Structure 1
Amino acid sequence: MAVDAAPVETWLPRETMSVASGLTHWITENAKSTRAFLKRVEVAVGIAAPVQGHHITELPRAAHKKGDHTPQADSDAQARELLAPALHGHDIGLVSEAGMPAIADPGSAVVRAAHAMGLRVVPLTGPVSLMLALAASGLNGQNFAFVGYVPQEATERGKRVRELEALALKTGQTQILIETPYRNTALLQALLQNLHPHTRLAVCCAMSLPHQVSRSALVSDWKRAQGLLSGLPLDAPAVFLLGR
């Protein structure tokens, strides 16, 4: 759940805020930002207890760095420990720094553990930049794949970009990529250098935020029309999509 200057009700549905307002136990990427989120929920709809009285437990650092989507004994055991309060009757909220937990963010191990422990799993809706970007791209939304990050090394990155392009052009499957904001410019340059002129490229920045920008055009147009790059906030979180 991204924290932004806009009121929380502008980007979270009322029902999601209502559920959040009743929780006092949380599993999160970052306790500080979760407290800030709770303060904003408190202003909007109220919360069940003062923020300092909430039980907020951070996911292990390994889940941040390497993800937890691949089942492993250690991560699944840790997730079970995090969910222990649920066995004593406490509902627990899973919060990510941005987007939605377990989708391009850690949290999968917690969800797996919840199912294994017989706990009810209820996903709550909110802004998910991957889907917002796909909707704004003009690319195929019936067949798509989120492929995460591409290699940082130039040769390997170029090779991977061309592989993804070949798949997209052959099958029609839109390929969705992300990068850390400080490497967004380098990724965009690599895409323009390695993609064919007739491939469509969309770049969607700061999705769900007031200054969001989405641009979609053929690579040949990206190279020719400087206006496509003008005002593109590449220092913000961005989603890159390519296809036909």
Structure 2
Amino acid sequence: MDAALYLLPVTLGDTPVDKVLPAYNREVIRGIKHFIVEDVRSARRFLKKVDAEINIDELTFYPLNKHTSAEEVSGYLKPLEEGAPMGVISEAGCPAVADPGADVVAIAQRKNLRVVPLVGPSSILLSVMGSGFNGQSFAFHGYLPIEPGERTKRLKELESRIYTESQTQLFIETPYRNNKMAEEILRTCRPQTKLCIAANLTCDGEYIRTKSVKEWKGKLPDLNKIPCIFLLYK
């Protein structure tokens, strides 16, 4: 197996592996002994889900999160520099997209190490695909400000961009605050602005609906504690 930093997508929720990941991913995973992971426990569960015969005790895990220093991350790549393949695993979806995995990929690129992204589910791309919004130009903003005044200001800025730049705007919220975010969008945005709510993507209860702000009023679903992406467009 070629020495490279393999970016290994993870299922979104409890979706069966065979439903969303190519068989080739399983072959690659079986050949890797060193994994850089966002969360060790969830990574171990994912690997067992991919192949129950994987011996977890033979593997080495390197934690990668907001507390990991650049020096530590650079040291993680030593096995790859010595010729061993390595994998990067996030908690859900594709590593290095809205994820700390981007840091280790940047270091690998600076060191001229081979990087191989593998195919898998990205909630960002899936939500754009299912929204009916502009897929030629879109921007993902992660979390909006928590402070109400700043959040309202930010929403108005994003709404302005859909009209001035014809650009789809995407963002997320902590799942237990989803309902408040949806209500804030309806209070803040223009009646004709379109809102797509994409929740539980690829999982049981998948929900993707696009309506105008005016049409959503009084008809919002309960989004509490559900993984969800909000998209705005004109």
Fold agreement, TM-score > 0.5:
yes
Aligned counterpart in structure 2 of residue 11 of structure 1, from 9, 20, 39: 20
Q: 2:96 aligns with which of 96, 102, 109?
A: 102
* Corresponding residue of 2:232: 242
1:189 lines up with 2:183 in the alignment: yes
Pairing partner for 2:152 from 155, 158, 174: 158
Distance 1:152 1:60 in 2: 21
Q: Structure 2 CA distance, aligned partners of 1:139 and 1:6?
A: 26
Identity of aligned residues (%): 38
Task: Pick from 200, 208, 218 the counterpart of residue 202 of structure 2.
Answer: 208
The partner residue of 1:21 within 30, 34, 51 is 30
RMSD across aligned positions (CA):
1.6
CA distance in 2, matches of 1:3, 1:177: 17
- The letter of the residue matching 1:51 is I
C-alpha contact 1:148 1:177 (8 A) present in aligned 2: yes
Q: Is the 8 A contact 1:202 1:214 kept in 2?
A: yes
Which residue in 2 is equivalent to 1:66? none
Match of 2:5 in 1: none
| Other-structure match for 1:55 | 60
Matched residues in 2 for 1:6 and 1:199: separation?
Answer: 32
Structure 1 window deviating more from structure 2 (6-15 vs 131-140): it is 6-15
Q: Distance in 1 between matches of 2:157 and 2:13?
A: 36
The answer to whether the Cα contact below 8 Å between 2:138 and 2:170 also exists between their aligned partners in 1 is yes
In the comparison of the two structures, how many residue pairs are matched?
225
CA distance in 1: counterparts of 2:110 and 2:117, whole angstroms:
17
Deviation at 1:152, TM superposition (A): 0.8
Aligned structure 1 segments of 4 or more residues deviating by more than 6 angstroms? none
Shift of 1:61: 3.9
TM-score, normalised to structure 1, is 0.87
TM superposition shift of 1:218: 0.4
Letter paired with 1:88: E
Distance of 1:40 and 1:192 partners within structure 2: 40
Name structure 2 gaps, 5 residues minimum: 1-9
CA distance in 1, matches of 2:173, 2:76: 29
Deviations 1:12-63 (A, max 9, x none): 11122221121111000111111111111114xx54xx11111111114426
- Secondary structure at the counterpart of residue 127 of structure 2: helix
Matched residue of 2:116: which SS? coil
Q: Which residue of 2 aligns with 1:71?
A: none
Q: Helix, strand or coil: the match of 1:147?
A: strand
In the TM superposition, what is the alpha-carbon distance from 1:186 to its structure 2 partner? Answer: 1.4
Q: Secondary structure in 2 aligned to 1:184? A: helix
Which residue pairs with 1:37 in the alignment?
Answer: 46
Helix, strand or coil at the partner of 1:27 = strand
Q: Can you give the 5+ residue segments of structure 1 that lack an aligned partner in the other structure? A: 64-73
Work out whether 1:78 is the aligned partner of 2:59.
no
SS at match of 1:102: coil
**1:3 Cα deviation after fit:** 6.1
The verdict on how the C-alpha distance between 1:61 and 1:167 changes in structure 2, with shifts beyond 3 A counting, is closer
Greater RCO, 1 or 2 (C-alpha within 8 Å, sep 6+): 2
Normalised TM-score (structure 2):
0.91
Instruction: Give the secondary-structure state (helix, strand or coil) at the position aligned to 1:146.
Output: strand
Distance in 1 separating the partners of 2:209 and 2:156: 21
Q: CA deviation at 1:109?
A: 1.3
